[in-house]
Amino acid sequence: MTTSLPHQWGSNLQRAQTHQPDWDGYVVTKVKHVRAAVLSGIDTFNAEGFTIPLASGFIELSGMRAGTFRTFLKIGFAESDDVMLPSFELVDNAAIGTLILPSHAFASTLQLANSPTAHFRIGGDGRRNAMATDVALLNFALTETGEAPEGIEIGFASGR
């Protein structure tokens, strides 16, 4: 006599995870390698499709793999007011985020990038691409959206 079981064996098992990162939700990774160039500020610099007008510097951060993707954050430095917005794209097997910062931030950014605790965040539309020496800053403090409190302009609000 054959009796049917109420549930087939294995019917409650989850499907295999893909272990692919959530690029829309941003991915944080540790900096493994830093490449940097100091430039004249006179010419346009192009690094594999990332164009910086009147470039005074360039830093490329390579991070840990995220799923099958190699991770990169390319940071350009320029005096020009005509700069591109941050971006993010998946190209072949690489996840590439970009930022353009003012020229005077080059030295401090390079120093932070070479810190043994440096991490960067890439993903989404790129507007929250960032670098920090503390993972908690990338996972929590910089993720808020919305309007700044009244009386606060672009920058950090005082905690006092």
**159 pLDDT more than 90:** no
Q: 84 and 99 in contact (C-beta within 8 Å)?
A: no
Q: What does the mean pLDDT of the chain come to?
A: 81
The whole-number pLDDT of residue 158 equals: 37
Instruction: Look at residue 160 in the predicted model and tell me its pLDDT.
Output: 35
Residue 105 confidence (pLDDT) above 60:
yes
In whole angstroms, how large is the CA radius of gyration of the chain?
21
Residue 153: band (very low, low, confident or very high) from pLDDT cuts 50, 70, 90: very low
Which pLDDT does position 145 carry in this prediction?
A: 55
Quick: pLDDT tens for 16-42: 456 678 888 889 999 999 999 999 989
Q: What is the pTM of this model?
A: 0.76
Closest-CA residue to 49 (of 6, 88, 10, 93)? 88
| Contact present, 74 and 96 (Cβ < 8 Å) | yes
Helices (H), 41-150: 106-113, 135-136
Cα 60 to Cα 1, 4, 27, 107, 111, distances in angstroms: 69, 61, 17, 14, 13
Q: Which residues contact 137 (CB under 8 A, 6 or more apart)?
A: none
3-class secondary structure, 23: helix
Q: What is the pLDDT of residue 19?
A: 67
Which has the higher per-residue pLDDT, 120 or 150?
A: 120
What is d(CA 106, CA 123) in angstroms, rounded to the nearest whole number? 23
Residue 46 has pLDDT above 50, yes or no: yes
pLDDT for the residue 2: 56
User: Residue 104's closest CA among 56, 61, 35?
Assistant: 56
